[in-house]
A and B are shown apart, each in its own frame.
Chain A
Amino acid sequence: MTPNQPTIGGRLCAPFAWAIPVTKLCGTLAITFFGLLLLTFLIGRVVPVDPVLAVVGDRASQSTYDAAFIELGLDKPVYEQFWIYLQKAVVGDFGTSMLTKKDIAEDIKRVFPATLELATVAILIGTIFGLPVGVLAAVKQGKLIDQIVRVIGLIGYSAPIFWLGLLGLLFFYAKLGWIAGPGRIDIAYEYSITQITGLLLLDTALQGQWDAFGNVFSHIILPASLLGYYSMAYISRMTRSFMLNELAQEYITTARVKGVAEWRVIWIHALRNAAVPLVTVIALSYASLLEGSVLTETVFAWPGLGQYLTNSLQNADMNAVLGGTLVIGAIFVGLNLVSDLLYAVLDPRVRSRND
């Protein structure tokens, strides 16, 4: 952030005004990251499974055991172990997976695009449907559409996502045959496409392989709609309440008195102001899709971060679990930060309050 940026969004602001909140933010962020690391380290320490045995197996000789004990750094005092853990984690070294003997950071890099693709399609679905529905619910408060938004929300907050996923597979895949089953892509296509970004929809489209694109789409549509439904429940409810807030303001009355068309008052004047807090809401639900994806990925055999986490869990591969947890925590914090910054950029009132 350059300090002497003269205008942001066409509005004047004092030079260096950014410096103080940004430094403060960085401090908070550093402490939060430190806490994330400390917490995952502590979780790793309470494991009842002996980490040495997990590496060497229970039939190893005493000397092998001792060698592994020292290699893992368990002979050092706890604070020193934490320091080593900290140094490694900062450069993205989460150790090697005890099970696959592969570098955990590499593993995560390999599986992450699948989760990213799923979450991105889901948030698009959630926003495209959630936003207009929320606006309509606010305009027609108490009418049918408003009740529908309420019901959508209640179902979203009450139904277990893995259960809805299973039912979806049962109906749309097994009974109706409309969509492809679990997994990201059929085996027939799996080796015919070169991965550029790791996002299969993008890769297939870029290479013009529309058959494969259709296949990928038919795999992703159900899990993404499901996750999208949950974001939609949240986004539409928040849109409704922000819009109600804006529609009660005096500038709306002014616009109406001036004779501005009603659709313009709602979709241009009010929505534009409601959009500012909505950015935060959308960023937060994007982040929470990473959480929802743990269960969804299990149900749909989706080879992403969530499935990697649960597989590691079931094999008591603690390093991989903590690595994955840490990455998700970091992304969560990162997206929170982005939404805070966007908020400040979009809303001059917040900016002046921070200064």
Chain B
Amino acid sequence: MTKPLSSRDWLLSDLPTSRRQAKAGHFYRIWLAFKANKLAMVGLGIVALLLAAAILAPLIAPYNPVIGGDLRTERLLPPSLTHLMGTDEQARDILSRVLHGSRLTLLVVALVAVIATPVGLLVGTTAGYFGGWVDSALMRVTDVFLAFPRLVLALAFVAALGPGIENAIIAIAITSWPPYARLARAETLTIRDADFIAAIRLQGATSPRIIWGHVVPLCLSSVIVRVTLDMAGIILTAAGLGFLGLGAQPPQPEWGAMIASGRRFLIDFWWVATMPGIAIFIVSLGFNLLGDGLRDVLDPKSIK
């Protein structure tokens, strides 16, 4: 390289001189395509806001989310300048609770993704790579999990494990992996017989090494898209469990549970149940838009 290039030229170079440059350029091109999609950027913005709210909750929340104000004068106040979203039946500021609730939502989404994605990937790639009876056995197990509607199965698991946010996360993760396994298997089937896999096998690579080092990375992008698209569903399931009293327990400011407690005052004090619902809606919308955008960029096959 004789003269210094601008970083943009370096990234978009057709003749990358290093592996790092090629990779960075690849991601930069994806980013450019993604950036052109306005709705996807809105989604990204919403998710970034959620992250910021979760990190900064103790700093930006105007009141304590768990301990309320004066029960005689500050209960069930309508939205005003002092309480932007009003207060609930225990004189707690709803905005502060919604902000702190973003931490729980993010926790659920992140943990479910971290638990369910590797399980789905592992089951799917193993089934697809080996085929035969391994495939049949693993896919039958997957089918059984898919045979239950997701919320109903999660309900049954939470019923068995006992209510609580940890158990809700476990239950949602258990019900989330089967679609990822299916997807990973389908992807694996298309690359299993490729020449480069045969070449690696002839070099003496073991099956776990081939699966982990060469098959999984190729399945990753479509599975990640699927997980992102699922995140809204995960949030809605978690909120549903919270609404039924099976997720986070009071006084934790979980959005679904907040709607459940506001339900009793719905007719006279509409804001108690409405505000957390708006939060759920906006965050789910953000993940849906982000997922759609990612799919369009990373997985052009599936555009209809």
A interface residues with partner B (beta carbon < 8 Å): 28, 31-32, 35-36, 38-40, 43-44, 46-48, 154, 157-160, 162-163, 166-167, 169-170, 174, 241, 244-245, 287-288, 290-291, 294-295, 298-299, 309-310, 313-314, 316, 318, 321-322, 324-325, 328-329, 332-333, 336
**Does the CB pair B149–A332 fall under 8 Å?**
yes
CA distance A321 to B265 in the complex (A): 29
**Does the CB pair A43–B144 fall under 8 Å?**
no
Main secondary structure of the interface of A (DSSP, over half): helix
Q: Say how far B138's CB is from chain A's closest CB, in angstroms.
A: 12
Q: Say how far B146's CB is from chain A's closest CB, in angstroms.
A: 9
- Count B-side interface residues using an 8 Å CB cutoff: 45
Q: Given A36-B147, A309-B152, are A154 and B288 also a contact pair (CB < 8 Å)?
A: yes
In-complex Cβ contact of B236 among A32, A160, A328, A332 (8 A): A160
In-complex Cβ contact of B259 among A44, A158, A166 (8 A): A166
Most buried by B among A158, A245, A314, A325: A158
**Does the CB pair A35–B147 fall under 8 Å?**
yes
CA distance A162 to B242 in the complex (A): 11
**Does the CB pair B266–A170 fall under 8 Å?**
yes
**Does the CB pair B148–A313 fall under 8 Å?**
no
Nearest residue (CB) in A for B136 is A31
**Does the CB pair A298–B244 fall under 8 Å?**
yes
In-complex Cβ contact of A160 among B153, B156, B161, B256 (8 A): B256
**Does the CB pair A291–B149 fall under 8 Å?**
yes
CA distance A294 to B158 in the complex (A): 15
Which 3 A-B residue pairs are closest in the complex by CB-CB distance?
A: A291-B149, A35-B144, A163-B277
In-complex Cβ contact of B162 among A48, A241, A310 (8 A): A48
- Pick 10 A–B contacts, CB within 8 A, sort by A: A35-B141, A36-B147, A48-B162, A159-B280, A162-B240, A170-B267, A170-B270, A294-B244, A313-B159, A325-B152
Q: Say how far A280's CB is from chain B's closest CB, in angstroms.
A: 15
Chain A residues with Cβ below 8 Å from B263 are 166, 299
CA distance A48 to B162 in the complex (A): 8
Q: Say how far A273's CB is from chain B's closest CB, in angstroms.
A: 16
Chain B residues with Cβ below 8 Å from A288 are 149
B201 interface contact, C-beta 8 A: no
Q: Given A46-B160, A163-B281, are A332 and B147 also a contact pair (CB < 8 Å)?
A: yes
**Does the CB pair A31–B140 fall under 8 Å?**
yes
- Interface 1/0s, chain B 139-171, versus A by CB < 8 A? 011011101111111011111111000000000
B304 interface contact, C-beta 8 A: yes
**Does the CB pair A158–B284 fall under 8 Å?**
yes
B76 interface contact, C-beta 8 A: no
**Does the CB pair A294–B160 fall under 8 Å?**
no
CA distance A156 to B140 in the complex (A): 31
In-complex Cβ contact of A325 among B155, B239, B240 (8 A): B155
Chain A residues with Cβ below 8 Å from B159 are 43, 47, 313, 316, 318, 321
Chain B residues with Cβ below 8 Å from A154 are 285, 288-289
Q: Say how far B258's CB is from chain A's closest CB, in angstroms.
A: 10
Chain B residues with Cβ below 8 Å from A40 are 156
CA distance A288 to B159 in the complex (A): 21
Nearest residue (CB) in B for A48 is B162
CA distance A157 to B304 in the complex (A): 18
**Does the CB pair A167–B274 fall under 8 Å?**
yes
Q: Given A32-B143, A44-B160, are A163 and B280 also a contact pair (CB < 8 Å)?
A: yes
**Does the CB pair A325–B288 fall under 8 Å?**
no
Chain B residues with Cβ below 8 Å from A245 are 304
In-complex Cβ contact of B273 among A159, A163, A325 (8 A): A163
Nearest residue (CB) in B for A314 is B245
Chain A residues with Cβ below 8 Å from B281 are 158-160, 163
In-complex Cβ contact of B153 among A157, A290, A310, A325 (8 A): A325
CA distance A87 to B304 in the complex (A): 47
Chain A residues with Cβ below 8 Å from B150 are 291
Q: Given A35-B147, A46-B161, A166-B266, are A158 and B232 also a contact pair (CB < 8 Å)?
A: yes
B243 interface contact, C-beta 8 A: yes
Q: Say how far A130's CB is from chain B's closest CB, in angstroms.
A: 17
B246 interface contact, C-beta 8 A: yes
In-complex Cβ contact of A294 among B147, B155, B273, B274 (8 A): B155
